[in-house]
Structure 1
């Protein structure tokens, strides 16, 4: 199956919106104490590390993506064929908010508390998506009111 950038962007949007919505986080703000080296391996290997059975959503050469759920919560787990493909996916997805745990050629997307818990096992770096909650009132920074969002 040939996966195009628009298809990957659509998957990223769906993942971010399904798990985090357009609003802010209500998760755990505590710093994670000891972070292990970032895990490596297949999607199935990473899922096994965090004790979830992946529900595959996309299985292509460029990206493999699954919905996972474990004791820490529900999250999206994706693996990528290239570092560039991963970075393009993350950059597109971050426009829709969310919390991203990023390792080498993999990413987990979920609520803050879930991402922090996964980090204790998988390692990686946490990245935050754009918070659009300030735009919900319809007021611009110049005090003008705009319709739409």
Structure 2
């Protein structure tokens, strides 16, 4: 005897799309209480005082390091970047402010960041380095950005030829 498809209350066989749609709705409804519980008190800290409106200050207080997205990191540093490189291995945005010009570079994988840093070590430069992102700027700006984004400051002295005259 051949196996029959289950029938709904109306006597029709449910189609796969209807089953998938129902599963998606049920999954969404199951997650709704979790997202509502995690949303917090709309700008109020646990102690009842008003939380900072700045995401950068909140992130640093929480010990969070900025995510690997050019626009997010740039906004934490007070800039709206102009994307100048959009490649599989990296994205890079240029920031121009009154105080400093700098680059924000993000990578889809940590290995791409490591390769980039290895190449950059040939030059005299300072970088603020986080998970899958780098900010290239003057050291004073990097110190300020570090309080806003997290990460570590890395300095390279360069390995290329010196521009100073030789002692001979």
Indicate the TM-score class for this superposition, using the shorter chain for normalisation: 0.5 to 0.7
Partner of 2:143: 116
Query: What are structure 2's unaligned runs of at least 5 residues?
Result: 1-59
- 1:81 pairs, out of 103, 108, 122, with 108
Distance 1:132 1:60, change over 3 A: closer
- For residues 95 and 89 of structure 1, the distance between their equivalents in structure 2, rounded to whole angstroms, comes to 11
Whether 1:40 aligns to 2:67 is yes
Query: What are structure 1's unaligned runs of at least 5 residues?
Result: 1-33, 145-149
- For residues 53 and 60 of structure 1, the distance between their equivalents in structure 2, rounded to whole angstroms, comes to 19
Distance 1:72 1:124, change over 3 A: farther
**Kept in 1: contact 2:125–2:155 (CA 8 A):** yes
Deviations 1:26-45 (A, max 9, x none): xxxxxxxx884321141111
Q: Which has more radius of gyration? A: 2
Whether 1:57 aligns to 2:84 is yes
What SS is found at the alignment partner of 1:95?
Answer: coil
What TM-score comes out, normalization by structure 1 length? 0.64
What TM-score comes out, normalization by structure 2 length? 0.57
- For residues 132 and 138 of structure 1, the distance between their equivalents in structure 2, rounded to whole angstroms, comes to 16
- For residues 137 and 159 of structure 2, the distance between their equivalents in structure 1, rounded to whole angstroms, comes to 17
Select the structure with the greater relative contact order (CA < 8 A; seq sep ≥ 6): 1
Partner of 1:101: 128
Deviations 1:23-78 (A, max 9, x none): xxxxxxxxxxx884321141111111112011111011210001112354211100
- Which portions of structure 1, spanning 4 or more consecutive aligned residues, are displaced by more than 6 angstroms? none
- For residues 37 and 99 of structure 1, the distance between their equivalents in structure 2, rounded to whole angstroms, comes to 22
- For residues 144 and 125 of structure 2, the distance between their equivalents in structure 1, rounded to whole angstroms, comes to 15
**Kept in 2: contact 1:74–1:114 (CA 8 A):** no
